[in-house]
C-alpha cells in the first residue's frame, strides 16, 4: 500500500485544542467485528470489558521537553530534548537561524550549552554543562511538548491533563494519548470486575512528530523507541486471557517483545499484512492522516473497517488527536470477541 491510501479529509474544527472538562467525559466509538459502530460516552469502556481480559497500560511519564533560549550572540532558539546520549550530552531537535556545530546556546538553569553536531535524521547533539539529570532539569525549566496541531501555548493545566493518572517513568516526549481518558476510579472498577491491569513502559520518542515522506511504505524508516516489559506483565500477557492494549505504544511494545524478549528498543513498523502475536483488543485515539499510527490501527482492525470508522467519526463530529475522543477495536482472529 502507498501513503496516499491513508489520507482522509478532516475538518479543522474537529482537531481538539483542549481536553474534555473531565478525563472520562470524552466519547468512545466501539468498532465491532461485524462492522457495526457504537458511539457513546467513554464510561461505556467499563461495560465493554467482561472481566476476563488483561488490560495493559503504558506508564511512561511525559517530560516538559521544550526549552526556549537564545544563541550567545543573540537570536531566539527553541530546543526540544529527546533523550540522553552520554554524560552531559543529549539528542534534541532545534529551531532557530544559523544553528551550526559549535554554536553556543544560553538555556535556563545551566551555565552553558553547545550544539556539538548534526545528525542525518534532523536531530542534533547538544552538550550541556552542569546537567546530569535531564528529566529533573526539564521538570524545573521546560514546557509541556504539546503537538503542533494544538495551536496554543501550553498552560499549567496541561502539566496534569497531558499526562496519564498512572504515569511513573519519565522519558516520553509525547503522551500515550489513549491513556489520558482513564481515571483512578475507573481502573479500580475494572480490577474489581476481574480485569488484570498491568503496565509496561515505552517512552514515546521523536518519530511520533515526524511525517511519513516516502510514497512507497517499503521505503519508510521508523525511529527507535525505548521500552521495558516487566516479568509480571509477561506472565499476564501469556496467561491465555484476551489482551487489550491501551494505546498504539502498548501494541508496539508487546509485539516487539513477542518477537525478541531480550530487546529494549524497537523500530517495528506495523502496517497491513502484519502478523500480530500478542494483542487482541486496542483502545486508541483518532490519528493523523498519512501517519504510521493510522497504519498500525488499520493493520490491527482491517483497512476498510478503520476507513469506515473514521468516516463515521467525522460525520459524528467526534474530536480527533491527542485531546480528542477514543475508539475501541477488536482484532479479527484474536481471543477477544
What DSSP string runs through 192-238?
Answer: HHT-EEEEEEE---GGGGSPP--SBGGG--PPPEEEE--HHHHHHHT
pLDDT top residue among 211 and 51: 51
pLDDT of residue 226: 92
> CA 11, CA 29: separation in Å to the nearest integer?
19
pLDDT of residue 209: 64
Q: 55 pairs with which residues across the strands?
A: 197, 244
* Domain annotation covers residue 206: yes
Kindly report which listed range (4-13, 137-146, 321-330) carries the lowest average pLDDT score: 137-146
328 has pLDDT over 70 = yes
The radius of gyration computed from the CA coordinates of the chain, to the nearest angstrom, equals 20
Locate all alpha helices (DSSP H) within 115-273, ordered by sequence: 134-141, 158-161, 184-193, 231-237, 248-259
Q: Are 47 and 88 members of one domain?
A: no
* Domain annotation covers residue 55: yes
pLDDT of residue 205: 81
* Domain annotation covers residue 319: yes
Average pLDDT over residues 212-235: 91
Q: Are 54 and 169 members of one domain?
A: yes
* Domain annotation covers residue 149: no
CATH number at residue 48: 3.40.1780.10
* Domain annotation covers residue 335: no
Which residue's entry shows cell 475501541? 328
Last residue of a domain, one of 141, 166, 198: 141
* Domain annotation covers residue 337: no
Q: Are 197 and 213 members of one domain?
A: yes
Q: Are 55 and 98 members of one domain?
A: no
Question: In percent, how much of the chain has pLDDT > 90?
Answer: 82
Cα-to-chain-centroid distance, residue 271: 16
Q: Are 128 and 113 members of one domain?
A: yes
pLDDT of residue 120: 75
Average pLDDT over residues 73-86: 90
Average pLDDT over residues 112-130: 89
Contact by Cβ (8 Å): 169, 201:
yes
Q: Are 189 and 278 members of one domain?
A: yes
Q: 60 pairs with which residues across the strands?
A: 169
State which of 62-66, 121-125, 299-303 shows the largest mean pLDDT: 299-303
* Domain annotation covers residue 148: no
State which of 87-96, 204-213, 251-260 shows the largest mean pLDDT: 251-260
Is the C-alpha dihedral spanning 182, 184, 190, 196 positive or negative?
Answer: positive
Q: Are 41 and 110 members of one domain?
A: no
Q: Are 58 and 74 members of one domain?
A: no
Q: Are 123 and 266 members of one domain?
A: no
CATH number at residue 96: 2.40.10.240
> CA 21, CA 196: separation in Å to the nearest integer?
28
The structural domain count of the chain equals: 2
> CA 233, CA 219: separation in Å to the nearest integer?
34
pLDDT tens across 160-213, in order?
Answer: 999 999 999 999 989 999 999 999 999 999 999 999 999 999 999 877 667 788
Q: Which range marks the domain in which residue 72 is found?
A: 66-141
Q: Are 241 and 325 members of one domain?
A: yes
pLDDT tens across 230-254, in order?
Answer: 999 999 999 999 999 999 999 999 9
pLDDT of residue 208: 66
* Domain annotation covers residue 151: no
Q: How far is CA 193 from CA 42, 54, 86, in A?
A: 17, 12, 45
pLDDT of residue 49: 98
pLDDT of residue 213: 86
Q: Are 72 and 53 members of one domain?
A: no
Q: Are 17 and 51 members of one domain?
A: yes
pLDDT tens across 261-314, in order?
Answer: 999 999 999 999 999 999 999 999 999 999 999 999 999 999 999 999 999 999
Average pLDDT, the chain: 94
* Grid cell locating 255: 509485539
Last residue of a domain, one of 141, 174, 196: 141
Amino acid at each position: 500500500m502507498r501513503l496516499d491510501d491513508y489520507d482522509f479529509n478532516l475538518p479543522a474544527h474537529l482537531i481538539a485544542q483542549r481536553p474534555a472538562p473531565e478525563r472520562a467525559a470524552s466519547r468512545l466509538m466501539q468498532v465491532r467485528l461485524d462492522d457495526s459502530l457504537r458511539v457513546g460516552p467513554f464510561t461505556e469502556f467499563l461495560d465493554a470489558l467482561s472481566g476476563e481480559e488483561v488490560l495493559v497500560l503504558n506508564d511512561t511519564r511525559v517530560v516538559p521537553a521544550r526549552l526556549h533560549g537564545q544563541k550567545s550572540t543573540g537570536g531566539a532558539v527553541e530546543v526540544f530534548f529527546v533523550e540522553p546520549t552520554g554524560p552531559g550530552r543529549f539528542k534534541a531537535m532545534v529551531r532557530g537561524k544559523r544553528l551550526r556545530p559549535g554554536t553556543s546556546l544560553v538555556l535556563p538553569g545551566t551555565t552553558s550549552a553547545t550544539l556539538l553536531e548534526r545528525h542525518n535524521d534532523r536531530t542534533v547533539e547538544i552538550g550541556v554543562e552542569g546537567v546530569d539529570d535531564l528529566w529533573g532539569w526539564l521538570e524545573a525549566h521546560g514546557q509541556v511538548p504539546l503537538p503542533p496541531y494544538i495551536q496554543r501555548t501550553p498552560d499549567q493545566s496541561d502539566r496534569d491533563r497531558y499526562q496519564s493518572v498512572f504515569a511513573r517513568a519519565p522519558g516520553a516526549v509525547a503522551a500515550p494519548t489513549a491513556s489520558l481518558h482513564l481515571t483512578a476510579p475507573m481502573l479500580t472498577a475494572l480490577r474489581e470486575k476481574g480485569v488484570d491491569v498491568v503496565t509496561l513502559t515505552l517512552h514515546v520518542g521523536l518519530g511520533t512528530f515526524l511525517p511519513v515522506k516516502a510514497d512507497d511504505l517499503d521505503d519508510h524508516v521508523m525511529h527507535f523507541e525505548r521500552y521495558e516489559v516487566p516479568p509480571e506483565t509477561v506472565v499476564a500477557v501469556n496467561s491465555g486471557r484476551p489482551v487489550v492494549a491501551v494505546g498504539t505504544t502498548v501494541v508496539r511494545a508487546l509485539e516487539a517483545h513477542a518477537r525478541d524478549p531480550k530487546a529494549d528498543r524497537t523500530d517495528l513498523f506495523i502496517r497491513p499484512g502484519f502478523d500480530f502475536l500478542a494483542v487482541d483488543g486496542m483502545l486508541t485515539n483518532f490519528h493523523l492522516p498519512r501517519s504510521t499510527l493510522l497504519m498500525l490501527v488499520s493493520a490491527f482492525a482491517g483497512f476498510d473497517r478503520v476507513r469506515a470508522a473514521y468516516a463515521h467519526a467525522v460525520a459524528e463530529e467526534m474530536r480527533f488527536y491527542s485531546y480528542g475522543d477514543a475508539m475501541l477495536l477488536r482484532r479479527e482472529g484474536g481471543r477477544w470477541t
